[in-house]
Chain A
């Protein structure tokens, strides 16, 4: 536990000092997105990596958070600080309700059902034009502000988003090492065995689904308030797949892995400007290659690789 804390502190220092290096350049804006995507990847990882339940609809929860926040503030003039938790609670509650029937399904069926749910949400964003502005989007969403400071520049947004992201990381680390985290891993390994030792697997899965949706909604609200403009295109099926790719590449069940995956997939398109539009091919290939050759993700795969290179002929460890 002490080592965990040191790791977290080192990571925090790294995050806080990073802007000094970039001096507020263009990349700061990208790093804001790394923060948001890290939060989303962790939210999905709680569900997929810890509880072993897949979701292909998380872009929908992300979008619901963004739109609820956006509509409450831009259309109804709410304070963003009030709109954010409201959106998170509504989305979490909604996910909790739908969680009961949806999490009865397993594997492929769960994947298809969450996919369907995500697409229904996406269609609603497009069709409820009076509320969401439809495909042309919703603009005029206010920035967040604290004590006279408005978060309207990349550097300010960086610290705002990463403040939240660090909090989510700390929370997830704690959760993973708590009784709940152990119960989740038990459900992951064998739901029947977990139930035999007294874990209420059904409720637990629904709770973690709701929590995951709540965190995604929070990320969505933050996204809406930093971008001040949202449109359905950001919340489609492709983004759900992108989130899944982040989690798988980083490593299932690893919080820092989610950061790695999110950072890689957010920065990659920036470095592949020439390959614009074709980044989807790279996602597809990455997904397949990771599952085939590095099922533990980067966080486990890279140390494994090192071990293999430096201790020739060493047994391959399966994390």
Chain B
């Protein structure tokens, strides 16, 4: 096994890992604000990619306008999802929440199938397809876009959560919802915000990955689950731990697919997921005191 090949797998693993990280942070933000695992998270990733396609083809928008447009529509979808499905729930037990987010996820997927059909669609790469050589390996410009956009998104996130009133309020909710309510934070609004931020981040992830992997109505399931896996490795943190989790997962998966068997590529993520849940449910880096079970 040559070093070049390993480097190649690691590099491509890094960019898929960045995608998982973005989706995983989306999971964590909602989980921390509400205690809900949003099974529909992956569907917003799908929406991002397909809405961009519509903006490009149907509305004839240039790429730089199509992307924010798609993100905005996905964010509205996230807002509607919270208002119409999560908030009206009369008995918000964990099982009911699991069932309703699963219901929402298949409903969104079904509607997407109705709107966009069952075909896979391609989105043009942001800046051409000329490969760039690094060491003995090559990467595409899109890989760099993915890494760069991920870094920017994470930086914005960090800024939002630590330097704005609304972000600090959201953090307060994640520590203790009742106490946050007592000091005058509108918890329901924060819950709504968390769904909007997560769907926007999911949509961005879906858009930047689409030129590499194509997109279709059903891409959300796998991407969503792997994002969750990243979040679990990171101990449901909405910060750097989940990013590391995503990158780790991406690289392991890419190496596993290249060195062991590509057919089992998806199984690797789930075996990691089960192992982490069984052995370290608090995440790889978390302290044992945080109850995740």
Residues of A within 8 A of B (CB): 48, 52, 54, 56, 101-102, 104-109, 111-113, 115-117, 119-120, 123-124, 126-127, 237, 241, 244, 248, 277-278, 280-281, 283-288, 291-292, 295
In the assembled complex, the CB of B267 is this many whole angstroms from the nearest CB of chain A, namely 4
Contact of B63 with A by CB under 8 A: no
Contact B113 A288 (CB under 8 A): no
CA distance in complex: A297, B47 (Å): 31
Interface string of B102-133 (1 = CB under 8 A from A): 11111111110110001000000000000000
Contacts of A104 in B (CB 8 A): 278, 293
In the assembled complex, the CB of A64 is this many whole angstroms from the nearest CB of chain B, namely 15
Contacts of B153 in A (CB 8 A): none
A-B contact pairs, 6 of them (CB 8 A): A56-B102, A112-B273, A123-B266, A277-B118, A280-B106, A284-B103
Partner of B274, one of A108, A116, A295: A116
CA distance in complex: A237, B218 (Å): 12
Partner of B98, one of A54, A116, A285, A288: A54
Q: Which residue of A lies closest to B271 (CB)?
A: A120
CA distance in complex: A281, B263 (Å): 29
Contact B281 A105 (CB under 8 A): yes
A102-B274, A123-B266, A127-B263 are known contacts; what are 17 more A-B pairs with Cβ within 8 Å? A104-B278, A104-B293, A108-B36, A108-B94, A112-B225, A116-B270, A117-B274, A120-B271, A244-B102, A283-B103, A283-B110, A284-B106, A286-B103, A291-B99, A292-B100, A295-B91, A295-B96
CA distance in complex: A278, B105 (Å): 14
Contact B110 A281 (CB under 8 A): yes
Contact B100 A107 (CB under 8 A): no
Contact A281 B107 (CB under 8 A): yes
Contacts of A281 in B (CB 8 A): 106-107, 110-111, 113-114
> Contacts A112-B273, A295-B96 given: A284-B107 contact, CB under 8 Å?
yes
CA distance in complex: A241, B105 (Å): 11
- Describe A's contact surface by its main secondary structure: helix
Contact of B228 with A by CB under 8 A: yes
Contact of B240 with A by CB under 8 A: no
CA distance in complex: A288, B106 (Å): 10
Contacts of B104 in A (CB 8 A): 284, 288
Contact B113 A291 (CB under 8 A): no
Contacts of B163 in A (CB 8 A): none
Contact of B37 with A by CB under 8 A: yes
Interface string of B229-255 (1 = CB under 8 A from A): 100100000000000000000000000
> Contacts A108-B97, A120-B267 given: A280-B277 contact, CB under 8 Å?
no
Q: Which residue of B lies closest to A282 (CB)?
A: B110
CA distance in complex: A117, B94 (Å): 20
Contacts of B106 in A (CB 8 A): 241, 280-281, 283-284, 287
Contacts of B278 in A (CB 8 A): 101-102, 104
Contact A244 B110 (CB under 8 A): no
Tally chain B residues at the interface, Cβ within 8 Å. 48
In the assembled complex, the CB of A44 is this many whole angstroms from the nearest CB of chain B, namely 12
Partner of B293, one of A54, A106, A286: A106
**Which segment, of B10-18, B70-78, B82-90, B135-143, faces chain A?**
B82-90
Contact of B261 with A by CB under 8 A: yes
Contact B110 A280 (CB under 8 A): yes
Q: Which residue of A lies closest to B97 (CB)?
A: A108
CA distance in complex: A286, B107 (Å): 9
Contacts of B94 in A (CB 8 A): 106-108
Contacts of B261 in A (CB 8 A): 127
> Contacts A105-B277, A284-B105, A284-B110 given: A112-B228 contact, CB under 8 Å?
yes
Contacts of A119 in B (CB 8 A): 225, 266-267, 270
Contact of B221 with A by CB under 8 A: yes
Q: Which residue of B lies closest to A49 (CB)?
A: B95
Q: Which 5 A-B pairs have the closest CB atoms?
A: A287-B103, A284-B107, A107-B94, A281-B110, A284-B106
Contact A111 B277 (CB under 8 A): no
CA distance in complex: A291, B102 (Å): 11
Kindly name the residue among A127, A280, A291 whose own CB sees the greatest number of chain B CB atoms within 10 A. A291
Contact A54 B221 (CB under 8 A): no
CA distance in complex: A115, B85 (Å): 22
